[in-house]
Structure 1
Amino acid sequence: MSNHDKALDAALNATEWGYEVFPLSINKTPIIRSPHDKGHRCQGMHQCGSPGHGVGDATSDPDLVRWLFDQAPKAVGYGIRCGARLVGLDLDRKENVDGVATLNRLAGRHGFDVPRTTTVCTPSGGFHLWLAVPGGTIVPNSVGKVGPGIDVRSSRGYVVGPGSIGRKGAYVLHPKLGFIDPEPIPEQLLKLMLPPPPKHRPQRHSSPMPGAGGRALDGLVRVVLNSSEGNRNDRLFWAAAKAWEHVRDGHVAASDVEGQLVEAAIRVGLGAAEAMRTVASAGRGVAA
């Protein structure tokens, strides 16, 4: 059996575990080229009908998985979408960095146990730990934020699935564990993954007016909460620009605008840093 067919079989196994997958090249990157010009906003083949959106093509439909692999005859691996129910903890072991040792130190320092969960052995001697996400929690992707040698794969991210081939070798399930239901992220480890809460700056007006301004902000928060992939950032910018007008008029506190709109943006999948930048950008030019 070819490496392509082995990867396809492994990807189909992952769909039986309930995960969404898509084909990868030997470089562990999406192999199907985008059908769009640079700068497009299409988020996946569910929007345009054509493959080539990386993790946006991920599916748990076996027939679609086979079709995707047919479009990628040189695929020798597959990615598993992370985010809504799965976070991948990538523990690198290369050069002078040891993510396994870092995680063990963090566990001792913060008082949590490293979960016994699905573990994929990587060709570099590292591991991918699969962890379950608490309902409604948006964990951002990060590189080294948790600690040296530890990367987090979450919303719009992916992990290389077991049964894949990379340039340095194969990705395989840990021989003593196999596939088991991913364990929840320990609470103390989750805190290290999440961004700090938005900083509340001093109010720009000492006595914001209650009533209509607060109701308007509630409506703008709903605009953000009702947004979807592809228009979340645009909706956030529009809502923030309107909200800053109420700040300027003295009807709403600046801290409420920043806190509530950023929180809403995180709930619909935007990263905290991106959301804070967008809200701040919309507020430029508002008088202090």
Structure 2
Amino acid sequence: MATIDRQNATLALAHALAAAERGLPVIPLSATKLPALRSPHRGEDPPVRCRGGCGLPGHGVHDATTDPTAVRALFAAAPRATGYGIACGRPPHRLIGIDLDIDAAHGTDSMGALQQLAERHRFTIPPTITVLTPSGGRHLWLTGPPDVAVPNSASRLAPGIDVRGFGGYLVGPGSVTTHGAYRLAPGTARLAPAPCPRALLRLLAPPVRRPHPTSHRPVDHRGQGLVQFVRAAREGQRNTRLFWAACRAYENGFGDELADALTSAAVHTGLSEQEARAAIASAARLTTGRPEHL
């Protein structure tokens, strides 16, 4: 068993490096499909809500990187990893994962449900990378535009259809889990992730309305700290830091007031204003539950 585990770990690293070379940010996964590195903040009281700002590994999808040296370091710190995850929503591909589950016992036909959506909204799923899961389901890889942040969702489109967007990850092909291996569907290995059809994109992330102008009252020290946290982001951290900071701002009730300052800070690091606004809007959706943003 130990020999098999070592072989799986070696293969997982090789697959992860190949994915990183294609511009896909990766992290090591355990056989349970969870991030293989434990949080450096485990056991701290009060709990620390860190998204990698401390600089240490162990923050799940926030560790994802395309740097081969960093990938090797992550896997070296996680010798029991048997798979790898691919972060969604991150440039350059801005991957969107359509997870189609199969559950014959409960009559779930996610493939049929997706086809019904396509017919109703007049779009076609293009040929794209498809990963077959051990349970008989499949992951469709699509790409999104820079001005749209697709949120994660479970069965919102239809029963059995989950979506992995910004802040989520997909189990990469070649990964081995307790339930079996993930593998590329025949004929899709040489394909690139196809652009998400606009009609489907509207279902995944409906257009958001900009918040109404509010009084320009001074932002307290917490807001200034969040702005500085975003301004200090290095390449590979920009989207993650911005999204985290925006979530904290909205959770504390001053997200709208801080949105412009966060946008300026993100643009300072190299993001476009569209990318920054989209990430902030996604944070607002996930933390405030605004009906118009669902």
Same fold (TM over 0.5): yes
Gaps of 5+ in 1: 201-212, 243-262, 278-288
Which secondary structure does the structure 2 equivalent of 1:232 belong to?
Answer: helix
Aligned twin of 1:69: 75
In 2, Cα distance between the equivalents of 1:154 and 1:219?
33
Equivalent positions of 1:166-205 (< 5 A) are: 166-195=177-206, 197=208
Equivalent positions of 1:134-153 (< 5 A) are: 134-153=145-164
Aligned twin of 1:232: 246
Aligned twin of 1:126: 137
Which secondary structure does the structure 2 equivalent of 1:107 belong to?
Answer: helix
Equivalent residues, number: 242
Aligned twin of 2:21: 16
Q: CA deviation at 1:265?
A: 7.4
- TM normalised by structure 2 equals 0.73
Which secondary structure does the structure 2 equivalent of 1:48 belong to?
Answer: coil
Cα RMSD (Å): 3.1
Gaps of 5+ in 2: 1-5, 231-241, 259-275
Aligned twin of 2:287: 274
Q: Is the 8 A contact 2:214 2:257 kept in 1?
A: no
Q: Is the 8 A contact 1:266 1:272 kept in 2?
A: no
Whether 2:65 is the aligned partner of 1:59: answer yes
Larger Rg computed on CA atoms: 1
For residues 63-83 of structure 1, what are the alpha-carbon distances to aligned partners after superposition, in whole Å with 9 as ceiling and x for unaligned? 111111111111100000001
Q: Is the 8 A contact 1:11 1:78 kept in 2?
A: yes
- TM normalised by structure 1 equals 0.75
What percentage of aligned pairs have identical amino acids?
44
In 2, Cα distance between the equivalents of 1:135 and 1:229?
14
1:91 maps to which of 77, 100, 118: 100
Aligned twin of 1:40: 48
Equivalent positions of 1:237-276 (< 5 A) are: 237-238=253-254, 240=256, 267=280, 269-276=282-289
Q: CA deviation at 1:27?
A: 0.7
Letter of the structure 1 residue corresponding to residue 17 of structure 2: L
With over 3 angstroms needed to count, the CA separation of the structure-2 counterparts of 1:232 and 1:151, relative to structure 1, is same
Letter of the structure 1 residue corresponding to residue 102 of structure 2: R
Q: Is the 8 A contact 2:246 2:284 kept in 1?
A: no
Q: CA deviation at 1:32?
A: 0.8
In 2, Cα distance between the equivalents of 1:26 and 1:53?
18
Q: CA deviation at 1:48?
A: 2.2
